[in-house]
């Protein structure tokens, strides 16, 4: 081969490598081109398999969808991932990013449901998936595997893409020195994420029609009383409202008012104590497209707990945090008594999950339980019972809510 032909062949090889490294693929699809402080890589987004996760990622990356800046309470539409670091790197496992506070403890101010598909497994280097803190708690954090056998179980993390180029960069990030909590000693920064669409189907994919929550700021009307301030706002079904307060317009304190569900009347007015001479209020609203199932309170409701061993407790809650119960054991006589205290709460970091934690009875052992809703009226629970003498023991079963 002549020197000129060898030179042309070398140029062609380098061009192909450049296309692979930077993800400039011509195959139809949606691609995310990451530019980082350690180089560039590209992921292909599997929007037909995980449309919600892809719509969320694209919307955050491009600013097409608003996200909640948790410290300030402002709905923002700047490119979410620009300037965010890889806050967690575990050698021969994963690299993880998507946390604005760089600690891995926050996200975009909302969560969305899991999407699992048996055709996608954690069996290769470069699998792109949502990080989470449990079932249905996806937000903005994601990870990329750096081994072909990370040991991650199926149906635990939503897989929504894979590397299409720049594997060497991802592996290099996966090999950086780390300190406490697997955080790199030198920040690895995502400088930009560019979304490319190739083909008719990719161009037609709409990030606004896949059920990702909508974040907005609300107008408020304040009423000034002698000892309290009233806050009037426009509420919506399936919304989570975040009330923010500040004395200086710089530092804000956040308070979630909980999810609004169909089983409770909408609340559009709250009062707060006047504890300072000057205070400012703002509110952000996260509108979910479907019910989060878990009511804000259990006042006046009946919860029937059917234990895996055959026992059943019918709990009738009153409006002041107590109630009555009927205990029907698998064998033996029925017993009745009072609920002396209980605490009911929504889990605002997970959809479809709440807590009856604790519940005290006049004649039964205290219990704590996590309620995993399948609908607004039923689901499963698991938790712990605490006898007065002897060790605590696990409990589980199903429940109905009326």
Mean pLDDT of the chain: 94
Domain that holds residue 218: 214-287
Residue 347 CA to residue 344 CA, distance in Å, equals 10
Residue 26 pLDDT: 66
Same domain, 194 and 83: yes
Last residue of a domain, one of 204, 230, 250: 204
In a shared domain, residues 68 and 197: yes
Instruction: Say if 1 falls within a structural domain.
Output: no
Same domain, 21 and 89: yes
Least confident of 184-188, 211-215, 228-232, 263-267: 263-267
Q: What percent of the chain has pLDDT over 70?
A: 94
pLDDT in tens, 299-321: 999 999 999 999 999 999 999 99
Q: Output the pLDDT for position 7.
A: 34
* Domain co-membership, 324 together with 371: yes
pLDDT value at residue 14: 36
Counting the structural domains of the chain, the total is: 3
Q: What is the largest CA-CA distance in the chain?
A: 97
Q: At 269, which CATH number?
A: 2.60.40
Please say if the pLDDT value at position 20 is more than 50: no
Does 319 share its domain with 247?
A: no
Domain of 165: which CATH number?
2.40.100.10
Q: What is the CATH number of the domain that holds 311?
A: 2.40.128
pLDDT over threshold 80, residue 6: no
Q: Is residue 140 part of a domain?
A: yes
Is 95's pLDDT higher than 60?
Answer: yes
Q: Do both 273 and 310 map to the same domain?
A: no
Question: Does some domain include residue 295?
Answer: no
Say if residue 95 is in the same domain as residue 130: yes
The 10s digit of each residue's pLDDT in 308-365 is 999 999 999 999 999 999 999 999 999 999 999 999 999 999 999 999 999 999 999 9
* Tens-digit pLDDT profile for residues 29-86: 999 999 999 999 999 999 999 999 999 999 999 999 999 999 999 999 999 999 999 9
Show the 3-state SS of the chain: CCHHHHHHHHHHHHHHHHHHHHCCCCCCEEEEEEEECCEEEEEEECCCCCHHHHHHHHHHHHCCCCEEECCCCEEECCCCCCCCEEEEEECCCEEEECCCCCCCCCCCCCCECCCCCCCCCCCCCCEEEECCCCCCCECCCEEEECCCCCCCCCCCCCEEEEEEECHHHHHHHCCCCECHHHCECCCCEEEEEEEEEECHHHHHCCCCCCCCCEEEEECCEEEECCCEEEEECCCCCCEEEEEEEECCCCCCEEEEEEECCCCCCCCCEEEEECCCCCCEEEEEEEECCCCCCCCCCCCCCEEEEEECCCCEEEEEECCCCCEEEEEECCCCCCEEEEEEEEEEEECCCCCCEEEEEEEEECCCCCEEEEEEECCCCEEEEEEEECCCCCCCEEEEEEEEEC
Bridge partners (DSSP) of residue 76 are: 67
Q: Is residue 221 part of a domain?
A: yes
Q: Which of 228, 255, 287 is the last residue of a domain?
A: 287
pLDDT value, residue 17: 40
Report, in angstroms and rounded to the nearest whole number, the Rg of the chain calculated over CA atoms: 26
Confidence of residue 264 (pLDDT cuts 50, 70, 90): confident
Domain final residue, candidates 233, 254, 287: 287
């Amino acid at each position: 081969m002549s020197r000129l032909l060898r030179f042309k062949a070398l140029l062609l090889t380098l061009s192909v490598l450049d296309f692979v490294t930077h993800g400039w693929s011509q195959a139809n699809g949606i691609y995310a081109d990451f530019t980082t402080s350690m180089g560039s890589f590209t992921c292909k987004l599997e929007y037909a398999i995980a449309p919600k996760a892809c719509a969320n990622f694209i919307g955050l990356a491009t600013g097409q969808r608003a996200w909640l800046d948790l410290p300030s309470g402002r709905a923002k539409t700047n490119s979410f991932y620009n300037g965010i670091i890889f806050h967690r790197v575990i050698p021969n496992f994963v690299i993880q990013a998507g946390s604005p506070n760089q600690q891995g403890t926050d996200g975009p101010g909302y969560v969305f449901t899991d999407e699992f598909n048996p055709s996608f497994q954690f069996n290769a280097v470069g699998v792109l998936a949502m990080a989470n803190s449990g079932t249905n708690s996806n937000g903005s954090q994601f990870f990329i595997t750096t081994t072909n056998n990370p040991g991650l179980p199926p149906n635990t993390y939503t897989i929504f893409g894979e590397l299409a180029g720049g594997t060497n960069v991802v592996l290099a990030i996966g090999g950086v020195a780390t300190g406490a909590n697997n955080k790199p000693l030198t920040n690895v920064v995502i400088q930009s994420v560019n979304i490319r669409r190739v083909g008719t189907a990719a161009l037609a994919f709409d990030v606004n029609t896949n059920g990702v929550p909508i974040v907005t700021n609300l107008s408020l009307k304040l009423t000034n009383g002698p000892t309290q301030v009233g806050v009037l706002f426009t509420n919506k079904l399936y919304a989570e409202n975040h009330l923010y307060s500040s004395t200086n317009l710089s530092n804000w304190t956040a308070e979630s008012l909980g999810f609004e569900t169909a089983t409770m009347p909408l609340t559009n007015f709250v009062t707060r104590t006047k504890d300072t001479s000057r205070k400012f209020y703002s509110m952000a609203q996260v509108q979910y497209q479907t019910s989060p199932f878990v009511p804000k309170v259990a006042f006046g409701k009946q919860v029937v707990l059917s234990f895996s061993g055959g026992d059943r407790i019918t709990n009738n809650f009153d409006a002041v945090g107590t109630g009555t119960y009927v205990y029907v054991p698998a064998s033996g006589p029925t017993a009745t008594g009072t609920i002396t205290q209980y605490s009911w709460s929504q889990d605002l970091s997970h959809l479809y999950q709440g807590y009856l934690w604790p519940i005290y009875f006049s004649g039964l052992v205290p219990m704590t339980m996590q309620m995993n809703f399948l609908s607004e009226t039923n689901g499963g629970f698991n938790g712990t019972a605490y006898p007065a003498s002897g060790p605590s023991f696990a409990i589980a079963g199903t429940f109905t809510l009326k």
